C-alpha cells in the first residue's frame, strides 16, 4: 500500500526540470471577456452590409433635380461706327538727288596752258572758254600747211593745163590731184588742232572742280575739271516690283529733301528691267531747281499720289490677327455677333491707318477685341471718348 501511493505521487508530480523546459500554450476559451471584441466587430460588419444594401431593397420614390449651370453672360466690348471714305493711295520711297548732267572736262590736245579764264565753283554758259593752250606751234603748223596747199594747187593747175594742150598725161594729173588732197587734209587737221587749243564747257553748268594752272603742260586726254548741271535736278528712286503698275511717266510727285526744302516734281522715267540683286526698278523724278539752291547728292523722300480707293480710317491699336496669322479687324453685326474681316493697308499716318476689306458701314470693336473670337455673341456698348 505504501509503495503504490508513492508511485502515484511520483507520477502526479512531474520532475521540476521537465516542467521548466516544456512549452505552454495560451488558451482563452475559458476567458469570458476575450470573446466580446470578436462579436462586436462581426456586428459592425453586418450592420454596414445591411445599410449598403438597403438602397436596393427599399428604393426611394423621390429624386432631387440637380440645378443646371447658368450660361455665362456675353463679354462686354466697346464699338465705334465707321463709314468708308474716298482716299488717295500714295507711293512713298527714299531717293537721292542727282545732277541733270555731270561730265568730266578733258584736254583734247597736248601743250602748255597760257590762260585760265574761270575758277572752281563758277557758273559758266554753254561753249564758254575755260582755258587756252599756247598757240605758237599750231600757228607755225598752219603757215606750213597753207604753203603746202598753195604749192599743191599750182602743180595740179599746171598738170591740168598741160593735159588740155595734149602735152601731159592723165597719170601726172592724177598724181597732182592726190598731192592737192593731202595738202587740203593737212590744213583741215591744223584747223581742228587750233579748235582744240581751247577747253570749253559743253553745256551750261557749274565748274565743280578745275585742276589747271598757267604754265602747266597737259597731255591729250587728261581730266582737268568737272562740270555739273543741277537745273533741273533728277531724283532717283527704286520701285518694288509689286508697285510698278501704280506708277506712270507724267505723274506728279512731292519731293522733300533732307535740307527741309520741299519741291514739286514729275515722274520722267520708269525702268523696264529690274536690278538682279534687289528686284527693283529705277524711276526718276525731275525737280525744278533754277535757283540752284538744292545741291546734288543729298537724300530725298518722294511721295507720288497714284489712285483713289474707298477705305476706312482706323487706329492701329484695333488691328488683330486670326489663327492663321491674317491681319484684320473685328466688328459686331446687328445680331451682336463678332465677325473678323481681313484688311489691306493702303495708307499709313501718325494717328492711324487707312484700310480696305471692310463693308462700307461697320461697327468696329475698339475695346475688348482681344477677348472675343469670330462667331461669339457679345454685349456691345458705345465707346466713351476720352476727355
Sequence ranges of the domains in the chain: 77-88+310-382, 91-98+229-307, 108-132+198-221, 135-196
Cβ-proximal residues to 34 (8 Å cutoff; 6+ apart), any chain: 28
Segment among 57-66, 118-127, 180-189, 216-225 with least mean pLDDT: 57-66
pLDDT of residue 61: 57
The predicted-structure confidence for 67-101, as pLDDT tens digits, reads as follows 666 667 888 889 999 999 998 888 999 999 999 99
Share of the chain above pLDDT 90, in %: 49
C-alpha grid cell for residue 368?
Answer: 475688348
Q: Give 59's Cβ-side CA count (13 Å radius).
A: 3
Angle between helical axes of 136-165 and 170-195 (0-180°, round to 10):
160
pLDDT at 201: 93
Which of residues 387 and 45 earns the better pLDDT score?
Answer: 45
What percent of the chain shows pLDDT beyond 70? 84
Mind listing the pLDDT tens digit for each residue in 10-39?
A: 444 444 444 445 555 555 555 555 556 667
Model confidence over 252-279: pLDDT tens digits?
Answer: 999 999 999 999 999 999 999 999 899 9
SS3 260: coil
pLDDT at 138 over 60: yes
For residue 60, the model assigns a pLDDT of: 57
Domain 91-98+229-307, what fold? Answer: Elongation Factor Tu (Ef-tu); domain 3 (2.40.30)
Residue 3: the pLDDT is: 43
CATH topology for 77-88+310-382 is 2.40.420
Quote the CA–CA distance of 120 and 353 in Å, as a whole number. 50
Q: Is 50 exceeded by the pLDDT of residue 152?
A: yes
Give mean pLDDT, residues 307-325. Answer: 89
Backbone angles phi, psi at 79, to 5 degrees: -125, 155
What does the pLDDT average to over 295-312? 92
Q: What is the pLDDT of residue 385?
A: 59
In 3-state terms, what secondary structure has residue 366? Answer: strand
pLDDT computed for residue 171 by the predictor? 83
Terminal CA-CA length for the chain: 135
pLDDT of the residue at 38: 67
Structure confidence at residue 65 (pLDDT)? 63
CATH 1.10.287 holds for 135-196: yes
CA distance 267 to 244: 13
Cα torsion through 283, 301, 227, 105, rounded to 10: -50
**367 CB neighbour count, 10 Å cutoff:** 16
Which carries the bigger pLDDT value, residue 54 or residue 20?
A: 54
The neighbouring-strand residues paired with 90 are 305
Of residues 152 and 1, the one with the higher pLDDT is 152
pLDDT at 270: 95
Query: What's the pLDDT tens digit per position in 327-370?
Result: 999 999 989 999 999 999 888 888 899 999 999 999 999 998 88
| 297 and 97 Cβ atoms separated by less than 8 Å | yes
Question: Considering the domain 108-132+198-221 in this protein, what is its CATH number?
Answer: 2.40.50.100
How would you class 253 by CB atoms within 10 Å of its CB: exposed for 0-12, middle for 13-18, buried for 19 or more?
buried
**If you average pLDDT over every residue of the chain, what do you get?**
84
Long-range pairs for 241-248 at CB < 8 Å and ≥24 separation? 241/274, 241/279, 241/280, 241/281, 243/91, 244/270, 244/281, 246/89, 246/91, 246/306, 246/307, 247/91, 247/283, 247/304, 247/306
pLDDT, average across residues 43-53: 74
> 3-class SS at 181?
helix
Query: Which candidate, 169, 114, 173, 104, places its Cα nearest to that of 138?
Result: 114
Amino acid at each position: 500500500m505504501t509503495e503504490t501511493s508513492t508511485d502515484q505521487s511520483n507520477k502526479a508530480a512531474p520532475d521540476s526540470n521537465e516542467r521548466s523546459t516544456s512549452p505552454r500554450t495560451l488558451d482563452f476559451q475559458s476567458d469570458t471577456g476575450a470573446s466580446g471584441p470578436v462579436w462586436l466587430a462581426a456586428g459592425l460588419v453586418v450592420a454596414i452590409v445591411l445599410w449598403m444594401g438597403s438602397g436596393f431593397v427599399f428604393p426611394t420614390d423621390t429624386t432631387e433635380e440637380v440645378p443646371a449651370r447658368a450660361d455665362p453672360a456675353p463679354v462686354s466690348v466697346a464699338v465705334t461706327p465707321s463709314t468708308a471714305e474716298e482716299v488717295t493711295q500714295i507711293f512713298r520711297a527714299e531717293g537721292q538727288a542727282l545732277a541733270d548732267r555731270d561730265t568730266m572736262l578733258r584736254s583734247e590736245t597736248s601743250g602748255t596752258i597760257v590762260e585760265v579764264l574761270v575758277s572752281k565753283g563758277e557758273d559758266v554758259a554753254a561753249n564758254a572758254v575755260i582755258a587756252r593752250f599756247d598757240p605758237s606751234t599750231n600757228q607755225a603748223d598752219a603757215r606750213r600747211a597753207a604753203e603746202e596747199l598753195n604749192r599743191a594747187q599750182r602743180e595740179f593747175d599746171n598738170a591740168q593745163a598741160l593735159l588740155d594742150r595734149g602735152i601731159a598725161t592723165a597719170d601726172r594729173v592724177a598724181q597732182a590731184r592726190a598731192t592737192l588732197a593731202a595738202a587740203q587734209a593737212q590744213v583741215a587737221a591744223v584747223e581742228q588742232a587750233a579748235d582744240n587749243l581751247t577747253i570749253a564747257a559743253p553745256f551750261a553748268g557749274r565748274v565743280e572742280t578745275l585742276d589747271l594752272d598757267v604754265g602747266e603742260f597737259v597731255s591729250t586726254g587728261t581730266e582737268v575739271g568737272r562740270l555739273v548741271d543741277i537745273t533741273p535736278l533728277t531724283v532717283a528712286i527704286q520701285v518694288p516690283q509689286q508697285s510698278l503698275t501704280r506708277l506712270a511717266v507724267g505723274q506728279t510727285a512731292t519731293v522733300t529733301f533732307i535740307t527741309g526744302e520741299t519741291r514739286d516734281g514729275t515722274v520722267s522715267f520708269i525702268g523696264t528691267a529690274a536690278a538682279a540683286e534687289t528686284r527693283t526698278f529705277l524711276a526718276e523724278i525731275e525737280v525744278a531747281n533754277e535757283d540752284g539752291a538744292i545741291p546734288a547728292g543729298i537724300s530725298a523722300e518722294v511721295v507720288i499720289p497714284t489712285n483713289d480707293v474707298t477705305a476706312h480710317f482706323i487706329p492701329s491699336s484695333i488691328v488683330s490677327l486670326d489663327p492663321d496669322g491674317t491681319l484684320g479687324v473685328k466688328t459686331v453685326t446687328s445680331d451682336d455677333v463678332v465677325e473678323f474681316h481681313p484688311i489691306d493697308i493702303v495708307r499709313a499716318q501718325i494717328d492711324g491707318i487707312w484700310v480696305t476689306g471692310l463693308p462700307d458701314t461697320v461697327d468696329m470693336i475698339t475695346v475688348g477685341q482681344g477677348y472675343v473670337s469670330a462667331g461669339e455673341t457679345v454685349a456691345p456698348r458705345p465707346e466713351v471718348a476720352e476727355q
